[in-house]
Amino acid sequence: MSINVANELKKARAGGYAIGAFNTSNLEVTKAICKAASNFDVPILIQTTPSAIEYAGLKQIFDIVTTEIKANNIKAAIHLDHGKDFDIVKKAIDIGYTSVMFDGSTFPYDENVLLTSKVVNYAHARGVSVEAEIGVIGHEEGGAVSGQSVMSMPDQVKNFIDLTGIDSVAVSVGNQHGAPSGEKVDFKILESISNVVNIPLVMHGSSGLSDGDIRGAIGLGVAKFNIDTNIKVAFSSAIEESKEADYRKANAEGMEEVEKVVAKYIELLSCGKK
């Protein structure tokens, strides 16, 4: 069952729980995510990055995700993760994505505001929710070092929301993509942001965070956590260690491990909500 992402994230923040957003690039991982989610009565997001779209094809990955959501009868939506330009965001919306992220965090502030506002105008006119990012996460998607991290500042985050009209905002508060060693949330900054922002907050790079940090962040308004690295590691490691000559059987072993990862995060993020 398709969900209204903006509404579900608002409900999560108000209800003291969070929604898991799980990245995929192929059929096998998508099937594993959906199978895990079918054991819970909570909403999830299934995310594709521009690199996943380049790998699988936009229509192909859209069809895979939406077909599996329907086949498993889960509460879910497909979400574009880290769209870096208007063109990829527009293509995703036009093909049927109901939730998108525009990531202009590495642009100068005024340019980020301008481009994000353009995305919001196009998306909202079509009933699509928009996530954006303010502050810079020092590790890009996949964990590659992109430069110096820049923490999100409360007043700037609030101003950014007021100027753009986004539905949720991803913040940089010590979280990093790729699960690097030592990843830890700066709760002082996160609390300051939460005190001045009334829309759902989003945490990228959640694979390296402890359960305690995740629970603490939920208590401060983080309503969406992105999980990518732990899914990739679980899937790839199982296949590498498989003794099966038939790649379908090896893939099935990888899918079982992905199911475990997704189920673990759904249980953690739902905070007892069933």
Each residue's pLDDT expressed in tens, for the chain with a length of 274 residues: 789 999 999 999 999 999 999 999 999 999 999 999 999 999 999 999 999 999 999 999 999 999 999 999 999 999 999 999 999 999 999 999 999 999 998 899 999 999 999 999 999 999 999 999 987 565 455 444 455 566 678 889 999 999 999 999 999 886 555 545 566 778 898 999 999 999 999 999 878 888 999 999 999 999 999 999 999 999 999 999 999 999 999 999 999 999 999 999 999 999 766 5
Task: Give 103's contacts (C-beta < 8 A, 6+ positions apart).
Answer: 82, 83, 84, 132, 133, 170
Give me the pLDDT at residue 139, please. Answer: 44
Helix (H) or strand (E) holding 171: strand 168-171
Give me the pLDDT at residue 163, please. Answer: 97
Give me the pLDDT at residue 152, please. Answer: 74
Give me the pLDDT at residue 51, please. Answer: 96
171/198 Cα distance (integer angstroms) = 14
Domain residue extents for the chain? 5-270
Give me the pLDDT at residue 206, please. Answer: 79
52-91 burial string, b = 16+ CB within 10 Å, else e? bbeebebeebbebbbebbeebebbbbbbbbbbbeeebbbb
Q: What single-letter DSSP state applies at residue 200?
A: P
Please answer whether residues 217 and 130 qualify as being in contact, where contact means their C-beta atoms are separated by less than 8 angstroms: no
C-alpha distances (whole Å) from 193 to each of 4, 126, 196, 221, 263 are 25, 29, 6, 9, 29
156/218 Cα distance (integer angstroms) = 21
Give me the pLDDT at residue 142, please. Answer: 47
Task: Give 119's contacts (C-beta < 8 A, 6+ positions apart).
Answer: 83, 86, 89, 100, 102, 130, 132
Give me the pLDDT at residue 14, please. Answer: 96
pTM confidence score: 0.91
Give me the pLDDT at residue 220, please. Answer: 95
Q: What single-letter DSSP state applies at residue 206?
A: G
Give me the pLDDT at residue 272, please. Answer: 60
**Active-site residues: which are they?**
81
Give me the pLDDT at residue 260, please. Answer: 98
What CATH number should be reported for the domain whose range is 5-270? 3.20.20.70
